[in-house]
Structure 1
Amino acid sequence: MKQLINYCLIVATMFFVACSSDDGHGDFQITEGTFGDILTPNDGQSYTLNPFENQTNTAITITWESADYGVPTQISYIVEAAQSGTDFEEPVVIGTTSSNVLSLDIATFNGYAVGAGLLPFTEGSLDIRVKSTIGNQSDMPLYSNAISVSVTPFTTALPKLAVPGNHQGWDPPTAPLLASSAFGETDYEGYVWLDGGYKFLAPDAAGAFQWGNTDWGDDGTSTGILVADDETDCTATAGYYFVQANTGELTYATTAVSWGIIGEATPTGWDSDTDMVYNSSTRTLEIDIDLEPGPFKFRANNAWSIELGSFNDDGFLQAGGDLTFDGTAGNYHVVLDLSNPREYTYSLTQN
């Protein structure tokens, strides 16, 4: 019995020494560890992300072997991604978990891929690794191996053309924009103040507008025909225009527009427009007007060929229908913002 007690004392002493730290708080001392490999996806696997698929569908599932710190402890895993060739200099954290698996849906994975620097609709390479940490030992991380996957991300932003010209000092980065109707379409349109010469300019692969990119001008006949080589400047007298350009059909057109507000909510009802004034600083149309509850809409050139009276599924103004003012009767500052092509909005602020 005495021998058994002595043996238990020896074991207890060894356990106490093994588990005691230098500061006497009894913490485990972890000086090193090991981390296994990423199990899925396979290195070199390819992903083409589809903007028309259900965006909550799973796009990628990453699994890995557990890290081993030599003692039983809670481990946190941080999954990182970076554009291939950057050596994780500025990694994007795509998830944190305490398990050995992380799944991302299409929208989330696409956002991280674009955030890491991959270009929309262009196949790029993304490096992925997993970092493990424990408690207050987060300054001593372990890393898995890194794998590379091919990813073709997308953007939901409509393709754009810039319209640099005399109206804004021929400066592409600050030029007003036209937008096409959808991905892959070449039917660009928008509202632009023009004054003299102008051209149409495509973005580069990174989406930046600068001279040296493909640009189009008039073929020299001033009949609405675009050319990319040996072009002359398109021209317009000073004014506000609805501008259209089709880089597939190589045509362009401009229609001078003067916008107004009309309807039961306005002082003149449906009989006539109350004209709005273009603000060159904000690129918007404005007016101070007395309004009372009732329907109204915006239209151009005192006619119904160009008008805005309802909202599309994305909440932007579109043709057709009537808008409704249901506020308190009074004087309001009305702003019609057509500066974002195909994403038109308005606001009412009581004076």
Structure 2
Amino acid sequence: MKRFSAVSIIGLILLFFQSCDDTTDTFTISKPTAPILAELNFTQLELDAVNTSNPALTLNWDEANYGIQAAVNYAIQFSKEDTFITPITASTITGQTSVTLSISEVNSAAGSTGVNPFNWSDVYIRIVASLGTQNTETATSNVIKLNVYPYFNYVFEDYFLVGNGLAPGWNNNNNNPPLFRDHTDSNTFYYTGLIKNDNSGYDDGRFKILENIGLWQPQWGEINPEGSDDPSESGKVAGNPGTQSSDPGRFGVTSTGYYTFKINFASKDYTLVSYDAAGKTSPTSLEIQGTSTLNVAMTPLDFDGHLWYAKSIRLTPGNIEFVTDASAKWGSSTSFSGLATDGGGEIPVIVEDDYDVWFNDLTGRYIFIPLNL
């Protein structure tokens, strides 16, 4: 019995080492050959808001080659730059080399890249191949260009401030000032203005971010929970329900002053740093003027006179400028949000609606928030 046991043990050990060397279940892939996207037989595509489920565009490509038999994933990406700095994925498929996109899908993808509706704009299209559920080993096709004319598609998110360090206090429906969206990156927002913490209290000088006036969720704040949310000049953000089911902590400052708050909802990062407002005065009056409306007087915020607003004003397609009592004309070339300068030109209004309009005379940032789109 002892002899049999010894032989058995030796056999098991040999079997173990053989199994460790067995590579029959592993495989390697070669460097992938990228898909080749076929050129279109047309260069312009006008999108109609009627029958938006109808097909608009069919794309074909030669499959990517990974040197093995595998189902390849393909992401169809759009961008307003040929460098695809911020690509938009219009669709994904697996194991196929052709896709047909509807009018609404192309319009949504084009609008999400940041091109304006009711204007001819170039968009760029590519195919990105990958393997597996983790989309690894990517291979990117050539890029083709298409001139599109989208109908209106409001693709932006708007955000509003609430908290005892700011004008509305902890009231989610009290003329809550918005964050000002960056006109070059729709994930980045700014707020430059007065934040109060007169007594340097731990729970004072605080604020959070709401997505909808009058609703507490979705809300965004510091990644650390309340009580551990020490005021900081930088950090990560969390959201309910954006990243979790519980409410996030609060942003905050330790003393009253002017600050610039910057947040990126893609990277979930923020900064909150002091802003030097010394010597910067506001105009005595400010009006919205232009072809989109009759002259509309803006109102300075009582809490911070550098922030001006006009609520629920009707704007029609055309343009506007912010005109001061000294006849300075602040404007820019980007619709919905932007960075205005004195003599910067007329701001385009591309779709009729009722808007809340906000302007910051410290930075020149503006935002038009449509109320019905």
**Could you state the TM-score of these two structures normalised by the residue count of structure 1?**
0.43
**Could you state the TM-score of these two structures normalised by the residue count of structure 2?**
0.41
